[in-house]
Structure 1
């Protein structure tokens, strides 16, 4: 608790100091632009979901379904392939439907894919897992491709460097937060519902003298944690998709087929003068 309070105070001091510097390390004034803010969150949230599901999914495939390492990797390939292809074709997609539609759509694809994980169980969940990663992979691919361009184009040219840095940082923070928060949630649920043998599923299954009853209790407990993490991440994406649908300007279009037209520059320029 004390460490958390120290962290909150330090964060408050850091933000306050950055707001009063002429050349801040992180220009928090950029977040006054709603397009930039949505782009930054879109950089953070998908990476959080992707990293957490990749981590928990690997454990699910190997420790719950009993797949070998190579087999688990092969099961993950379709989602990775779809993500890669989507990244490649997204510029053409943005040129056709616009950046606004792409930003909104990516969150609903990710939400739908994550919620499909609810159909997985302690047996026979490979098909649902593949379907989940494929559908979510479309959303991930779109988000990974448009975040930086959207963030940079939403601010004045002299702030482009700061915008690009924040967009990249949001990706890294999301990657860490996904495993830290969603992974911790899954671990907490396992500790509460699983057998009191070890702190993780893998350690429980490898414990000496483990019985079939213990295994029968441990696997469902882990799956429940996986489902909880997927639901929370999925609902956050759905909420952000609705928020973007309501608050991204309809005039938010592309100028050259790949880059969004800058918006709300007056707001950012005014805040920069302050």
Structure 2
């Protein structure tokens, strides 16, 4: 991180600490594949942005992994860490938040994951749209809340993550991995942290509140949302419930609880 960005991050952290309102416009996400910036829609989706920033300021996104990648659809992260062995370990969550389906799920937008048939169930997990998924995700489960967009110049990093080989393990499917081959999977070679796409840090780098001016992608209004009637239909392969937890891990957490 440059000295200027480090200063902005410290300044923004101080601002957040003095106010209960969402102030950040841009956060920088550093992964072991590359960095990308997210412009947050703090004025139009304030509850969702504040929720996201609460996880950012607490450091709970640091060290999480991208645990699912669906080709030409989404990549998903925010909820799990790799603790030397599988299964992935779920991180602590805050209470679920209200759904704010104001913007459309087009390419380069980030949205909150949630449980199937429960619109107001988003906690810490998010996904990034790899293509225009509006006809599907704007209607499912009363619409998925888009709360920001990836800088257009940084989508190369997202596409690089989406282009990694994906593997299935017990309780997990389509996990993108680095420096890991099909032969390694056939031989059940143990995974190490560097095999995963790791979110090393998420920091605020610009705390201005005007989220509309200067955007490289003008937000597209969600025409589904609470008024949609699409239910769980669409091209995603049925229910989108896995966008909160893979079902096997959700069942495991319930048994442990």
More strand by share: 2
Normalising by the residue count of structure 2, what TM-score does the alignment of the two structures yield? 0.27
More helix by share: 1
Point out the structure with max Rg over C-alpha. 1
Normalising by the residue count of structure 1, what TM-score does the alignment of the two structures yield? 0.26
